[in-house]
Amino acid sequence: VIACPDALGLATPMAVMVGTGLGAMNGILFKNASALEDAAQLNVVVFDKTGTLTQGRPEVVDLVLAAGIAEDELLKTAGAVEKLSEHPLALAILKHAQGLQLDAVQGFGNVDGMGARAELGGDVVLLGNDKLMALDKVDMNGLEVDSQRLQGQGRTVVHVARAGRLMGLVAIADAVRPTSAPTVAALHARGVQVAMLTGDNRPTAERIAREIGIFDVVGAIELSRATLRKMHQNLWWAVAYNVIAFPVAAGLFYPFTISPEVAALAMSGSSALVAVNALMLKRTRLTGIRVGSATDAAMQPRPATAQG
């Protein structure tokens, strides 16, 4: 027996098995085989900003104080209100105010899309953007230029006002992941466009966009394309082999024959070649895949999941 469709049957699943295994070793998870195949056709990738393109851990990077206001006074007022907030920016302010005695506030409430308000020591305290300050006709204490400057730098600016007067500005930024910038070039080199979704203001979005990048998706696209190449190679080899082997097995070339030993070796060799070619996927170097221990990879919230 020389003709055998084993190689045809192994061509695709063997490549998929090795491809998904290699992806898992590098922190890339594919939901199924079709997701692995579809990833090769990606030409546009859209990602959320916070926690994906950025660290997802906003930090206070600057403070601007109104005349006569001390830094601790500003932080204590802001921290007292933010204690009751669940917004990610609140955590950044509370971290910066760590160690300060924060008084209790009353009547805390969120102002959709603008910030929050509460009462502290009988005074109304406002924390939020410039729209909230304008809505409540807050005296900006001459800090309008500083507010615009910080926003122009792509910072998220929290205005802190008490009793109708601005106490100061808290500038917050979310650092871009260190792997982002070089990956943009890798995506563009592969003909993949990158888009970003964010609810931040335009200057902040533009600042992040200048540094934007996607880490494991580059590896996922490369792996998908490499796997498809192996599938095609295996299928072409299996088809070519059987185009020759089936007529030989059917006796169409009689009296030309080959010994059973040679036929068995050829049949086994065809399947072995498909398997070896698929296993060579493991030699694929995936751009952007960080070399590290399995534990380190598991601890990082960075796997890309392609779903089909």
How many angstroms separate the CA atoms of 70 and 88, rounded?
25
Catalytic residue among 6, 48, 130, 296: 48
- CA distance linking residue 97 with residue 31, whole number of Å: 43
Q: Tell me, what DSSP letter sits at residue 283?
A: G
Q: Report helix, strand or coil for 65.
A: strand
Which residue type, as a one-letter code, is found at position 168? G
105 secondary structure, DSSP code: -
Say which DSSP state 139 is in.
B
Helix (H, G, I), strand (E, B) or coil at 112: coil
Distance in angstroms (rounded) separating the CA atoms of residues 39 and 37: 6
Distance CA(147)–CA(111), nearest Å, equals 20
Say whether 274 sits in a helix, a strand or coil.
helix
Backbone torsions φ then ψ of 235, nearest 5 degrees: -65, -45
Task: Mark whether 174 is an active-site residue.
Answer: no
- Sign of the CA dihedral 187, 188, 192, 194? positive
Q: What is the DSSP letter of 164?
A: T
* Residue with the two structure tokens 């009462």: 119
Which residues participate in catalysis according to the annotation? 48
